[in-house]
Structure 1
Amino acid sequence: MPANKKRVFVAGHRGMVGSAIVRQLSERNDVVLITCCRSELDLTNQQAVNDFFASEQIDEVYLAAAKVGGIHANNTYPAEFIFENLVMECNIINAAHQNNVQHLLFLGSSCIYPKLAAQPMTESALLTGTLEATNEPYAVAKIAGIKLCESYNRQYGRDYRSVMPTNLYGMNDNFHPDNSHVIPALMRRFHEAKLRDDKEVVVWGTGAPMREFLYVDDMAAASVHVMELDTEAYKSNTQVMLSHINVGTGVDCTIREMAETMAKVVGFTGDVVFDSTKPDGTPRKLMDVSRLAELGWRYQVDLEQGLTHTYQWFLANQESFRA
């Protein structure tokens, strides 16, 4: 193996974001990809993770492994969301440090910011207000991951970076009818309604909340871009390395507008009805992505394009969703 090839571990390589990062890195000739299935490595098992790192001679880590879900899943399984995410983060980040891995990228979430944060949300909004109640346990776990990276950087001089993506969607998303995020849940609902020739599809909430959506392949490209930034470029003007950076489009739309675009892409011609008795969640979530733009990255895929790509993938893989 050429000496200049990096050994890169992608944790969570079968998930939506992890698989997109694998697609990005697999096109490179300077990378040896290291992946491990859950049946081979339980990331919640500290000893197993330590042994894995000790044996693999890893140079870089993309920490994309996480337990994720939408409002319903976060409301139903709060203990699992905080526990499993905390344990995986602690195990991987500490094992990386113990085995002298200098470069790590932790993937967080825009839900780390306060429910009523000023819009668009800047990196400095972290820990300035109360979190959205429906996903607070998950958000607390992600904040802890950011602070783990920050702490290892401060104490040990590591270069552990964090990216905070906006709402993601795309290939390999979770299309479970109850436990998925809004785009995959609605895509499946509209598709099945079209097959049944239903007259309407019901969407949770009023349709008024504003959301920003990023296609997952754009997120993967941004992750690689941030990982490979020169260290000095990634520092703030106070010369303290910022532990996280926002990733998004900087453009948002209402849930109603997204649902109408979804209906168009799927080909559902019935009515879209909003159930205002269901929770809306945060009124608006828009990321300030100016810092990432200054560092040379901007999204490429708009919402309708991304939904079209995702629906094509959904159609090709729908048998696995039924199973």
Structure 2
Amino acid sequence: MEKKSNIYVAGHRGLVGSAILRKLHTDGYTNLLTRTSSELDLRSQQEVNDFFKKELPEVVFLAAAKVGGILANATYPGDFLYDNLMIQSNVIDAARRYGVQKLLFLGSTCIYPKLAPQPLKESYLLTGELEPTNEPYALAKIAGIKLCAAYNKQYGTNFMSVMPTNLYGPNDNFDLQTSHVLPALMRKIHKAKVQEEPTVTILGTGSPLREFLHIDDLAAACVYLMSRYEAEDLGEFVNIGTGLEITIKALAEKLCEVVGYEGELVFDTTKPDGTPRKLTDVSKLASLGWRYGIDFEDGLRDTYAWYVKNEVGK
């Protein structure tokens, strides 16, 4: 991947794609292609093929996806499976047809079995049943991994796959109905501070352990891997994470410090906790020479500053 390579970032307005675009700009890549969903419907094979035929990208970061939390997955399972299958299949196949030199497909650690041993090694893929609450999304991402690997084997393409852990940072989704745990807690605690509420209720016991990676670290890892390695160096895919974990209770306490909320945290233990632990094994990533760089508390402060500036009052 050269500084003047014709690089297409699919999904450049989302949390992941926008961070990758920022990183590419910062690192001096000058020939960047983007399209909004209204300009290019990635679910349409014809539109995708026409775009690739005209623009002939040399490098592709495939960060476009239909994403959401448990409620969204439960409400729209068909959309989550169909849309993601179509988006990734169309882009990956067009990349093959029109001679893309290198592609990076971004998935999620939800691909792993619900009861997989911890920490999650890449070899645990397809060794057990998936978590039912996000099965459609996970199935699509697994299909994407396998399609990249199959094309590499059959056509000699150079298509890489990475599976990031839980992400957070600027441009995250803070909608309480569809967001993930960190932005949801940040919003709840901010609201409690502003409205001077004495308590914040958190669902569950607060004991589950979670791993979090700042979105700018993910972007740095993606550009690092694409600029230094080939698909064969990574195997089918590689985890991207920190290898560190924190309880939901400790996360909420850190967020109180960052937000400046001095009230009490109340845990509603009648509500389910979800998966007790979900930690990635990042030893393969470490062997490739990459490690996260953003301290968690610094990342939380950065994210909160972005939230106050961009989301409060909407």
TM-score range, shorter chain: over 0.9
Match of 1:315 in 2: 308
TM-score normalised according to structure 1 size: 0.93
CA offset digits 1:71-95 (Å, max 9, x no partner): 2222222222212111101111111
- Which of 260, 284, 289 pairs up with 1:291? 284
Q: Partners of 1:96 and 1:192 in 2: how far apart?
A: 45
Letter in 1 for 2:252: A
- Note if 1:218 corresponds to 2:211: no
The residue type equivalent to 2:115 in the other structure is: L
Deviates more, 1:121-130 or 1:221-230: 221-230
TM-score (norm 2): 0.96
Pick which of 280-289 and 28-37 moved more: 28-37
Q: CA deviation at 1:280?
A: 2.2
Residue 264 of structure 1 aligns with an amino acid whose one-letter code is: E
2:87 alignment partner AA: M
> Could you tell me which of 261, 274, 283 is aligned with 1:268?
261
| Deviation per residue, 1:53-106 (Å, 9 max, x gap) | 110010000000111122222222222221211110111111111111121000
What is the CA–CA distance in structure 2 between the aligned matches of 1:28 and 1:192, rounded to whole Å? 37
2-structure distance, mates of 1:276, 1:94: 47
Letter in structure 2 aligned against 1:45: S
| 1:40-59 correspondence to structure 2 within 5 Å | 40-59=39-58
1:305 pairs with 287, 294, 298, which one?
Answer: 298
Counterparts of 2:202 and 2:84 in 1: how far apart (Å)? 29
Distance 1:169 1:182 in 2: 10
Conserved? CA contact 2:49–2:94, under 8 Å: yes
Give me the whole-angstrom Cα distance separating, in 1, the residues matched to 2:36 and 2:140: 22
- Superposition map of 1:74-89 within 5 A: 74-89=73-88
Q: Distance in 2 between matches of 1:78 and 1:52?
A: 28
Aligned to 1:166: 165
1:178 counterpart residue number: 177
Cα 1:72/1:279, change in 2 over 3 Å? farther
In the alignment of these two chains, the number of paired residues is: 313
Q: What one-letter code is carried by the residue in structure 2 that aligns with 1:269?
A: E
Moved beyond 4 Å, runs of 4+: none
State the SS of the aligned residue for 2:219. helix
Q: Over the residues paired in the alignment, what is the CA RMSD in angstroms?
A: 1.5
Contact 1:161-1:244 within 8 A present in 2 as well: yes
Shift of 1:132: 1.1
- Secondary structure of the 1:314 match is helix
1:277 aligns with 2:276: no
**Structure 1 segment 1-323 matched on structure 2, within 5 A:** 5-231=4-230, 235=232, 242-319=235-312, 322=314
Identity across matched positions, percent: 57
Q: How far is 1:270 from its partner?
A: 1.3
In structure 2, C-alpha distance between the alignment counterparts of 1:276 and 1:67, rounded to whole Å: 31
Decide whether the 8 Å contact of 1:132 with 1:281 is kept in 2. no
3-state DSSP of counterpart to 1:138? helix
Letter in structure 2 aligned against 1:263: C
Provide closer, same or farther for how the CA distance between residues 69 and 55 of structure 1 changes in structure 2, counting only shifts above 3 A: same
8 Å Cα contact 2:77-2:136 kept in structure 1:
yes
Residue 30 of structure 1 deviates from its aligned partner by 4.3
Cα distance in 1 between the residues matched to 2:165 and 2:120 = 10
Per mean C-alpha deviation after superposition, the further-off stretch among 5-14 and 270-279 is 270-279
**Where in structure 1 are there 5+ consecutive unaligned residues?**
none
- Tell me, in whole angstroms, the C-alpha distance in 1 between the residues paired with 2:269 and 2:9: 40
Amino acid paired to 1:268? Y
In the alignment, the residues of structure 1 paired with residue 30 and residue 124 of structure 2 have an alpha-carbon distance, to the nearest angstrom, of 35
- Aligned equivalents of 2:90 and 2:289: distance in 1? 32
Contact 1:249–1:299 under 8 Å retained in 2: yes
**1:228 match: secondary structure:** helix
> Is the 1:207–1:274 contact (alpha carbons within 8 Å) kept by the matching residues of 2?
yes
Report the AA paired with residue 209 of structure 1: P
Give the 3-state SS of the residue equivalent to 1:6 in structure 2: coil
Deviations 1:274-304 (A, max 9, x none): 2233332222111110111111100011221
